[in-house]
Amino acid sequence: MDEFLYLSLPPMVIASLAAVACVLPGNFLLLSRRAMLGDAMSHVVLPGIVAAFLLTGSGSGVVMGAGALAAAGLSALLIEFVTRRAQMEPGAAMAVVFTAMFALGVVLLETTGTSGVHLDVEHALYGNLESLIWLGAAPPELWRLALIAAGLGLALRLVWRPLVLATFDPVFAQTQGIPVAWLRAGLTAATALAAVAAFQAVGSILTIAMLICPAASARLLTRTLPSQLMASLGFAVASALLGYILAGYAPLWAGLPFTLSASGMIATVSGLMLACAALIASHRARAAL
């Protein structure tokens, strides 16, 4: 039991908190057809982290987080710029910017000898959830993610009404005096914050999965926005816990001498949940005919 408390509980809590932080903006990204932004944000943090490390020589989470946020902000501006100047569809602009930024991050990582010492591409993809264990105190990622998840939840509660209106009908929202452009920028910032915080703990694959999969599953199964949000939070936490347990224990139960990547398994579980939700929704649609 002690082993579980020290080795398994902290990463499970961290995975759940990362999932919650991502799901909150994820629901609105999905509804405003900007789901790709989550993908973009969780990739662009890599060059930011590498650059922050190269500039300061510090491997502290706060310094790297600041670098990642700066990179996220820069790429948000770049996306906006490409969309307007090249009159490109936003999805295409995001794809151009985030692949270029991520590639830059990989190049920086490999050419500066940073790779393998403090950072490597594998960690960027899968995170290091399994190593976030209790070492006399909770890992700092836990408090950071808790703070960010709580902050995002509070911010969402505050702007809920105008945000829903601006997402549903931005033109009408403007006639009601709602600062639509600011809300849009705020959602981008919230996505960046959640992506950066989650990236450091769980890697980019799980971050992308958590930004979209639980919200997409909930969207298929619910009819009102509050119930969609609640369901997506439930799916997110459930896939975090279930995925972690499956990754750590399923191979042992099967008598195999290894464990699986927790991040990978959590992302897989959330993907399977989405597949089930799609099946249930299409079955319901057929039954309604």
Partner 1 sequence: MQAGGDAGHRCALQVQGLTLRYNDVLALDGATARFPTGSMTAIIGPNGAGKSTFLKSVLGLVEAEGAVSAFGGPVAQAMPRIAYVPQRAAVDWSFPVRVIDVVLMGCYRKTGLLGRIDRRMTAHAMAALARVGMQDFARRQIGALSGGQQQRVFLARALAQGADLFLLDEPFAGVDAATESAIISVLKSLRDGGATIIAVHHDLTTVAAYFDRVVLMNRRTLAEGPVAETFTRDALAQAYGPALMLDPTGSSAV
List of residues contacting partner 1 (CB under 8 A)? 31, 33, 158-159, 161-162, 164-165, 167-169, 171-172, 174-178, 219, 222-225, 227-228
Q: What are phi and psi of 115, to 5 degrees?
A: -60, 135
- Whole-angstrom CA distances from 46 to 91, 93, 138, 204 are 20, 19, 25, 9
Which residue number, 162 or 251, has a Cβ lying nearer to partner 1? 162
Which residue number, 167 or 191, has a Cβ lying nearer to partner 1? 167
CB of 219 to partner 1, least distance (A): 7
Query: In terms of DSSP H, where are the helices of the chain?
Result: 2-3, 9-31, 36-56, 61-85, 90-111, 121-126, 140-168, 170-175, 180-221, 225-253, 262-288
Q: How far apart are CA 261 and CA 269, in angstroms?
A: 12
Which residue number, 56 or 176, has a Cβ lying nearer to partner 1? 176
Q: How far apart are CA 98 and CA 87, in angstroms?
A: 17
Which residue number, 57 or 177, has a Cβ lying nearer to partner 1? 177
β-partners of residue 119 are 115
Which residue number, 178 or 197, has a Cβ lying nearer to partner 1? 178
List the structure tokens of 280: 């249930």
The SS3 call for residue 119 is strand
CB of 161 to partner 1, least distance (A): 6
CB of 154 to partner 1, least distance (A): 12
CB of 221 to partner 1, least distance (A): 10
CB of 175 to partner 1, least distance (A): 5
